[in-house]
Structure 1
Amino acid sequence: MAALLLRHSARQCLLSQLRPTFCMRSALPMGTSAKQEMDRYWEKNTRLNRPVSPHMTIYQWSLPMFMSITHRGTGIALSAGVSLFGVASLVLPGDFASHLELVKSLSLGPTLIYAAKFALAFPVAYHSWNGIRHLAWDLGKGFKIPQVTQTGYIVLALTLLSAAGLAAM
């Protein structure tokens, strides 16, 4: 009965533009306020000892989850790296050849140089190969779980091979 009365009252308010104050006064009061609802919600969560928000530790890590996070991270790192190198090239004195000579004068071992080159090549290779995988997804290919896992391993293998090849140059 109350729902019917509320519906009738709302319809009358919409149809009648003459007395908006009457419509405001004639509306039925709600059972609880938003504050009361939120207090009841938090009281229940506290009583049941529920966490405030789910944390990443409650989820079982999967390859697609890891690769998605890594793809975003490498994208941010590459954007920041390119921006920093661009600003550094504008601000720092000298040219590329002088900076290369500075690195050579440090007499770093070949293993350390290879590791540094691999660390620079890895995000580029990973983001590129995983970007190609995303382009395939944009075409509607490879959405089944076994295919997602298989292409994930393929991307990781291609990333390691290409980063190692680029670092060897």
Structure 2
Amino acid sequence: MAALLLRHVGRHCLRAHVNPQLCIRNAVPMGTTAKEEMERFWNKNLGSQRPLSPHLTIYRWPLPMIMSASHRGTGMAMSGVVSLFGLSALFLPWNFETYLEFVKSLYLGPALIYTAKFVLTLPLTYHMFNGIRHLSWDLGKGMKIHQLYQSGVAVLVLTVLCSAGLAAM
């Protein structure tokens, strides 16, 4: 096998030495470079006037996907806030009543207080109602597409209404 390979290579070298035109006749033209290929690719795509993916006009996150991601986000945010609140209770010099009196002494307007309470209750109520929704999925209820969207809208409406009610207390 090695002898056949050496004989074949030797013949090509001898042909190139004796008559270079024989090697040129058997030569394969070089392909395009990577840069040329990329330019050709982008020119073709830009010339077709198609949007590049992922593009918001093509791919939209469906409501169940957004709500599932925000459920995880509110869970992580609330656990972080609770952890920071617990650590601050350990390391800050005064007790909770002192800080509460300080906030009362700022004489913040009722609109600002209501907004702050609404912002604090919004992730709590959302996480609770969406958690109930996830638990119903675990039971196999509400898994059809139209039911996913209906329950998602119901969770959002209940979240806003309950947060507004809790903030008004």
TM-score by length of 2: 0.67
RMSD: 2.3
Give the direction of change, closer, same or farther, for the CA distance of 1:139–1:99 in structure 2 (3 Å limit): same
The within-5 A match list for 1:118-157 is 118-157=118-157
Q: Give 1:5's aligned residue.
A: none
Deviation at 1:123, TM superposition (A): 0.3
Distance in structure 1 (CA, Å) of the matches to 2:55 and 2:94:
46
Give the direction of change, closer, same or farther, for the CA distance of 1:103–1:137 in structure 2 (3 Å limit): same
Give the direction of change, closer, same or farther, for the CA distance of 1:143–1:48 in structure 2 (3 Å limit): farther
Deviation at 1:59, TM superposition (A): 1.8
Give the direction of change, closer, same or farther, for the CA distance of 1:106–1:151 in structure 2 (3 Å limit): same
Distance in structure 1 (CA, Å) of the matches to 2:139 and 2:37:
46
The within-5 A match list for 1:17-166 is 48-49=41-42, 55=54, 57=56, 59-166=59-166
Secondary structure of the corresponding residue to residue 59 of structure 1 = coil
Q: Give 1:167's aligned residue.
A: 167
Give the direction of change, closer, same or farther, for the CA distance of 1:129–1:104 in structure 2 (3 Å limit): same
Distance in structure 2 (CA, Å) of the matches to 1:108 and 1:85:
22
Distance in structure 2 (CA, Å) of the matches to 1:45 and 1:65:
35
Task: For structure 2, list consecutive stretches of 5 or more residues without a partner in the other structure.
Answer: 1-33, 46-52
Q: Deviations over 1:127-147 (max 9, x none)?
A: 000000000000011110000
Give the direction of change, closer, same or farther, for the CA distance of 1:121–1:46 in structure 2 (3 Å limit): farther
Specify the code of the residue in structure 1 equivalent to 2:101: E
Q: Deviations over 1:95-131 (max 9, x none)?
A: 1111110100111000000000110000000000000
Distance in structure 1 (CA, Å) of the matches to 2:62 and 2:164:
25
Give the direction of change, closer, same or farther, for the CA distance of 1:109–1:136 in structure 2 (3 Å limit): same
Deviation at 1:47, TM superposition (A): 5.9
Distance in structure 2 (CA, Å) of the matches to 1:96 and 1:148:
42
TM-score by length of 1: 0.67
Deviation at 1:68, TM superposition (A): 1.5
Give the direction of change, closer, same or farther, for the CA distance of 1:90–1:45 in structure 2 (3 Å limit): farther
Distance in structure 2 (CA, Å) of the matches to 1:146 and 1:158:
18
Q: Deviations over 1:13-40 (max 9, x none)?
A: xxxxxxxxxxxxxxxxxxxxxxxxxxx9
Distance in structure 1 (CA, Å) of the matches to 2:37 and 2:64:
34
Structure showing greater radius of gyration is 2
